[in-house]
Structure 1
Amino acid sequence: MAVKVLVVDDSSFFRRRVSEILEQDSDIKVIGFAVNGREAVEKTAELRPDMITMDVEMPVLDGISAVKEIMSSNPTPILMFSSLTRDGATATLDALDAGAMDFLPKKFEDIARNNEDAIKLLQAKVKEIGRRRVPRTFKPITQAKPQSMPLATPSSLRNTATLKQPDRSFQRTNSNASVHASGKKYQLVAIGTSTGGPVALQTILTQLPANFPHPILLIQHMPAAFTPAFASRLNGLCQIKVKEAQQGDRLQQGTAYLAPGGQQMMVEGRGSSKTLRVFEDNSERITYKPSVDVTFASVAKACQGDVLAIVLTGMGADGRDGARMLKQTGATIWAQDEKSCVVYGMPQAVASAGLASESLALDDIALRIKKEIGCG
């Protein structure tokens, strides 16, 4: 059955363009349009779409306010379109906090290397997001100070669709109550994610203590204009320090380094002195910039098996090859479970390859990390 889409934008040209692109795919059907946020709220109640594409800046009621109202009254998967500016980045992150599942740049030339790739990516995201369901009682993320320990609401993003279950050899961990630390020693934690990642990362990082004993590497598929704002937001919410990675950064315990959008992040050095190499990557061979595979591979070389690597929600299979290299050195690999993912692509790729030793619900990952690392 085709995914039913409501297209929301105050520009008639953009509404028409998005509609034409989406309906090139027989699995997508545009069932209506809205020209502002207020009309979006009304049309959502009337048409009951499977998903919504939503502009951020609109008259009468802006996109963020519309997302909040829709998620309060008729929870529906929402894909935001945003300008690649500092203000656009902040507004889009606010929309994700309010309940939107993902975002794309409004300029299609910023989405991918060529127009055909951009079209395919948009269609794929709409189908993936449109097949997800959110519960009728949705709770948005609460922005709060670290000491009050704000928690995102991953249960609001859980996928209830029935998918074919792959063969898995890993342990399904449903509760932390009976789980004990392995006793393994680590040098760092590395986390890779894509669609649904901003909420997932906030959920995990806000629960880690200020004295977390290792550096943390964060690889989130995100445009260059967004990563400074995202790192700043996380830093304001977390007890650990969070920063956008820079060339030459020396890895410090209790600090999370977010890979800059449009660049690659690698770890260099051996022993206790390790630094980050951050660089422009013009290779056509590597799709993602930043790439989880690139960072994981460098960590495998620099840290051998003394690594805890976690692959969270996201489309595609980025992280699988890097996780394989880490696994060969003796590293510990975890994957987010299907139920708590926005898109069970990247974790599924790792799990299906037999690389993940545990499958964890998003709600459980932070506590599981603290038990494994030995910090409270």
Structure 2
Amino acid sequence: MPKVLVVDDSALMRRLVSNVLSSAGYDVDTARNGAEGIERVTDWQPDVVTLDVNMPEMDGITALSLIMQARPTPVIMLSSLTEQGARVTFEALALGAVDYIPKPGGTISLSVDDVADQLLHKVRAASRAKLRYRPVPNDGPLPAASARAPARPAVAPQARVGKPEGLVLIGVSTGGPRTLEDILPALPASFPWPVLVAQHMPANFTTAFARRMDSLCALRVRECSQPLPLEAGHIYIAQGGTDMVVSEYLGRLTVKPRAETPGHPWHPSVDVMVDSALQHLPAAQLIGVQLTGMGNDGARAMAALKRGGGRTIAESERSAVVFGMPQELIAADGATLVLDSHAVARQLLLWAPAKH
């Protein structure tokens, strides 16, 4: 079994996380702070590291940056569910962390049974993940939301009142935030189709995620926390803890959050989002994009989209942090094209040309 290093300043936390991993057969070692963690990464060479965000002396972000310089290793961040915790988590993902585990109430100790399955699932995925490390200069600024490059138009382009010409439907999980930063900022403000994103993510994190992406993209990025009209020039991020569905109101297409759909293990659900879009637009007016992630969410619905005359993209094994979700779409003969993540935006512009 892979070796896992648990880095946390709390002795109770180290013991609880270690017990979950040891019981599953993992070889586990611990470190009491970031500096000790960096030393153990170099000496013990673990396959995966779990790293607390908030630690005295050296915080998790600094430790992560130094780990990635000393010996790049798949890292899972342990983060609070606060807005500040979410922002720091996205900084960590931009630096190269593979995934994160939210700590309800700021600590995992009172609900370790609730997160044990999630911890094991994410450690298993991280042990197979490919790193997407973004080096930063020594003493340089941490990656953060940058200034928006292209200016936004005063009025977003819209083909006609009522229904857009088409929709782009993106499904993504582990490794998604960093991968989406390769794709969404590359779409110009004139991109003519609304873009819907179902990123597997818990409640309280998608608000910060949408704000971060909004600061990076020429398109406007909104969290789908209430019914919203589908408009060109916009990206809609499904709200954590819900499923995002396409619906129709007074002759106009909208997106809205809905309670998590029973029978679907991952949320926000990609399958549910794509199924709902197929109920309101012909498959030929839809583009499905299946990106990095573990599991098979989205494969069934996107394969049906392709069979109905729509077009789909599966991220390549070469660029995917975790190849599970795109691999399932390819295996179902549901991929029109298989592309590296950096080529996805270019293909979307070929299929739905921006209007000037």
User: In structure 2, what is the Cα distance between the partners aligned to 1:134 and 1:267?
Assistant: 34
User: In structure 2, what is the Cα distance between the partners aligned to 1:329 and 1:40?
Assistant: 51
User: In structure 1, what is the Cα distance between the partners aligned to 2:225 and 2:205?
Assistant: 15
Contact 2:199 2:237 in 1 (8 A): yes
Which amino acid is the alignment partner of residue 139 of structure 1? Answer: P
Which amino acid is the alignment partner of residue 39 of structure 1? Answer: E
Contact 2:96 2:131 in 1 (8 A): no
Which amino acid is the alignment partner of residue 51 of structure 1? Answer: V
TM-score normalised to the size of structure 1?
0.83
Contact 1:146 1:237 in 2 (8 A): yes
User: In structure 2, what is the Cα distance between the partners aligned to 1:304 and 1:109?
Assistant: 45
Q: 1:366 offset after TM fit, Å?
A: 1.3
Tell me: CA distance 1:41–1:148, structure 2 relative to 1, closer, same or farther (3 Å).
farther
Which amino acid is the alignment partner of residue 85 of structure 2? Answer: G
Match of 1:154 in 2: none
Match of 1:29 in 2: 27
CA RMSD of aligned residues (A): 2.5
Q: 1:230 offset after TM fit, Å?
A: 0.4
Which amino acid is the alignment partner of residue 146 of structure 1? Answer: R
Match of 1:316 in 2: 295
Greater CA deviation, 324-333 or 137-146?
A: 137-146
Q: State percent identity of aligned pairs.
A: 39
Contact 2:145 2:215 in 1 (8 A): no
Q: 1:108 offset after TM fit, Å?
A: 10
Structure 2's unaligned 5+ residue stretches are 137-142, 152-163
User: In structure 1, what is the Cα distance between the partners aligned to 2:9 and 2:185?
Assistant: 36
1:69 aligns with 2:66: yes
Tell me: CA distance 1:340–1:133, structure 2 relative to 1, closer, same or farther (3 Å).
closer
1:78 aligns with 2:75: yes
Matches within 5 A, 1:1-376: 2-26=1-25, 28-30=26-28, 32-107=29-104, 118-134=115-131, 138-139=134-135, 143-147=145-149, 187-269=166-248, 273-281=252-260, 283-305=261-283, 306-375=285-354
Tell me: CA distance 1:322–1:190, structure 2 relative to 1, closer, same or farther (3 Å).
same
User: In structure 2, what is the Cα distance between the partners aligned to 1:18 and 1:122?
Assistant: 8
Q: 1:116 offset after TM fit, Å?
A: 6.2
Structure 1's unaligned 5+ residue stretches are 150-184
Task: Give the match's secondary structure for 2:55.
Answer: coil
User: In structure 2, what is the Cα distance between the partners aligned to 1:131 and 1:108?
Assistant: 30
Contact 1:36 1:59 in 2 (8 A): yes
Task: Give the match's secondary structure for 1:82.
Answer: strand
Contact 1:186 1:373 in 2 (8 A): no
Deviations 1:186-216 (A, max 9, x none): 5111101000000111110111101111100
User: In structure 2, what is the Cα distance between the partners aligned to 1:8 and 1:194?
Assistant: 24
User: In structure 1, what is the Cα distance between the partners aligned to 2:165 and 2:70?
Assistant: 45
Which amino acid is the alignment partner of residue 280 of structure 2? Answer: A
Contact 2:128 2:322 in 1 (8 A): no
Tell me: CA distance 1:42–1:239, structure 2 relative to 1, closer, same or farther (3 Å).
same
Contact 2:50 2:78 in 1 (8 A): yes
Match of 2:155 in 1: none
Tell me: CA distance 1:94–1:319, structure 2 relative to 1, closer, same or farther (3 Å).
same
Which amino acid is the alignment partner of residue 10 of structure 1? Answer: D
Task: Give the match's secondary structure for 2:252.
Answer: coil
Task: Give the match's secondary structure for 2:289.
Answer: strand
Q: 1:271 offset after TM fit, Å?
A: 11
Q: 1:82 offset after TM fit, Å?
A: 0.8
Which amino acid is the alignment partner of residue 135 of structure 2? Answer: K
Task: Give the match's secondary structure for 2:23.
Answer: coil
Tell me: CA distance 1:148–1:54, structure 2 relative to 1, closer, same or farther (3 Å).
farther
Greater CA deviation, 138-147 or 124-133?
A: 138-147
Contact 1:52 1:77 in 2 (8 A): yes
TM-score normalised to the size of structure 2?
0.87
Deviations 1:292-334 (A, max 9, x none): 0100000111112110110100011100122133223311111
Q: 1:241 offset after TM fit, Å?
A: 0.6
User: In structure 2, what is the Cα distance between the partners aligned to 1:235 and 1:109?
Assistant: 26
How many residue pairs get aligned? The number is: 334
Tell me: CA distance 1:128–1:317, structure 2 relative to 1, closer, same or farther (3 Å).
same
Contact 2:288 2:302 in 1 (8 A): yes
Which amino acid is the alignment partner of residue 81 of structure 2? Answer: L
Contact 1:5 1:53 in 2 (8 A): yes
Contact 1:313 1:346 in 2 (8 A): yes
